[in-house]
Chain A
C-alpha cells in the first residue's frame, strides 16, 4: 500500500479503516510554544501565533496531527470565571463565575465568534487549515464538556457538594445543560472553520473525582447528547478526554458513541480496548512523565508495548496520555514518531 498522507492516516484510524501505519498526534502545544520562542501569554491571546508555533513544531518532528490545547479555561473565562495568565503555563481558571447555583439563570450562551478569546482559537484553526490544509490532521478543541465546565463555573468543591447534598438537583442539571450547549456551540464553530475532529476535556467527570453513579446521572447523559448532536447534526467526529482513572466507567462510556477516547497511563488500556473495539478509537496513552524525563529507549519500549495491545486492529492514534510538559525532551518526541514508523505498520494482512 502506498504511503498515506497524515490526514488520510488519521481519518482511517478513527473510522476503523486500514491506515498504512499507526498515526501519531502528540498533545504538545505547550512544547510547541516553548520551542517557538513565543511565550504562552501571547499565544493564548493570538491564535495565529499559536498556530505558527504548532506548524513549526509539526514540520520539525513530522507527526500526523495538530492537537490544540491544553488551555482548559477558554469557555469558563468567556462565561465569567477569573483566569490567570502565566508565561510558561496555559491560562487557568482561578475562581468560580457563580456565587450561588441560582445564578445559572443570569448566564448567557456564548458566541464563539465574539466572546472572550474564543475567536482567537477559531483563528488558530483557520491558520492551521490555511497552512497545512488537507495534509495534516487538525483537531479543534471545543474546550471542556458540560460537567467539567459546570464545575469550573460553580467551583469544583461547591459543585460536588451540590450533587452530594442533593437539594437543588434541578439547578445542577440546568447548569450542566447550559454548559453543554456552550461546549456544543464551540464544537460547531470548530467544524465551520475547518477542523477535522473536535475534542473536549471532561476530567472532573471521571473516577479520579466522581464515582460511576455520578458519571451515570450527571456526566454520561450530557456526553451522549453532545456526541449525538456534534457527530450527527453538526457532522464532525468527536473525541472525549478523561485523564486519570476511567476503568470504573468504561463500559457505559462506550455508549456515548464518541469516535475517540483520549486517556492517560492510569487507564487500564487493555480493558478499554476490549470494551471499545470497533466502536471508539483510542488516542493515548504514553506517560507524560516518561516523555519529559525518560530516555528515547524507554519511549520506544512503551510504544511497542502499546502496539502489542492495539494492533493489528485499526482505531488507534499514538499520543501522550495528557498534555506534554513544555520542556519534554525533543529526542523523546522523535522516538515516539520513529516508533510508529518502524513498528506501527499495518502491512497487507488486513485489519480486523
Chain B
C-alpha cells in the first residue's frame, strides 16, 4: 500500500494516531502537501461521505473519521500557506435562530473541510444579523444554514432576505431534517442538501457556477 493509501485508509477507519504518524512521515519524506491533502486526507473523507450517504455508516463513524482527518490536517496546516495549495472556497456555516441542534451542521462542516473548503463555523442559534456580520467579515462564497426543527426552519427565509445586496456574491445552501428541495425553492435558496456528502457536491457546483 502506498503511503497515501495508508493515510486514506486510516482516515476511513478513524485511526487518528495512525493518520498523524503517517502524515508526519510523508512530510519528512518531502511528499508534496497538496498530495497528502488530496490523495490522503480528502480521499479518505470522500469515501466516508459516500458510505454515509448510502447508509452504510452512521454519525459515530463520521465523527471518528473527521477526528482522524483533523489529526492529519494539524500536521500539514502550517505548511499549506507556502505550498501553493489553494482552498476550494470559504463557507460560513451555522444553525438558524432558535435551533440549538448542531450535529447536522457539524457533519457538513467536517465534510466540507474534508473536501478542501475553509469553514467558518458560527455555531448555533444565529439570528439573521449574525449571518450577515459573518458574511461581511469573511467574504465567503457560500452561506450554509441548518435547522433540525420544523419550528425553526422559518428563520431561514428571514436570513436570506436579511443578506440583501450580498446575495449577489454569496450563494445560500440549506439543509436539516425537516428541510426539503421544495422548501428551498420557496424561500429562494440556491441549493438544498439532504445529507453532508451531498452538501459537498452542491458546494462544488455552487462555487463552479
Contact = CB atoms under 8 A, between A and B. Distances in A.
A90 B61 CA distance: 31
B103 A210 contact: no
Residue of A92, A266, A323 ringed by the most chain B CB atoms within 10 A: A92
Residue of B60, B64, B98 ringed by the most chain A CB atoms within 10 A: B60
Interface in A46-63: none
B58 A211 contact: yes
Contacts of B63: 157, 160-161, 164
B151 A209 contact: no
Given A93-B100, A210-B60, A164 B150 contact: no
A323 B153 CA distance: 13
B151 A164 contact: no
A71 B114 CA distance: 35
B59 interface: yes
Prevailing SS type, chain B contact patch: loop
A209 B64 contact: no
A157 B103 contact: yes
Nearest to B177: A244
Prevailing SS type, chain A contact patch: loop
Interface stretch (A10-18, A81-89, A136-144, A178-186): A81-89
A289 B100 CA distance: 19
A156 to B, nearest CB: 6
A88 B154 CA distance: 12
Interface in B81-123: 98, 100, 103, 106
Nearest to A291: B150
A211 B63 CA distance: 13
A210 B59 contact: yes
Contacts of B60: 160-161, 163-164, 210-211, 214
19 contacts: A30-B151, A84-B125, A86-B98, A88-B151, A89-B151, A92-B100, A93-B100, A160-B59, A161-B67, A163-B60, A207-B55, A209-B58, A210-B59, A210-B60, A243-B177, A245-B55, A288-B178, A322-B150, A323-B149
Interface of A: 30, 84, 86, 88-90, 92-94, 156-157, 160-161, 163-165, 207-211, 214, 243-245, 248, 266, 288-289, 292, 322-327
Q: What 7 pairs between A and B have smallest CB-CB spacing?
A: A211-B58, A164-B60, A160-B60, A164-B64, A288-B150, A92-B100, A89-B98
Interface of B: 14, 55, 57-61, 63-64, 67, 98, 100, 103, 106, 124-125, 149-152, 154, 177-178, 180, 183
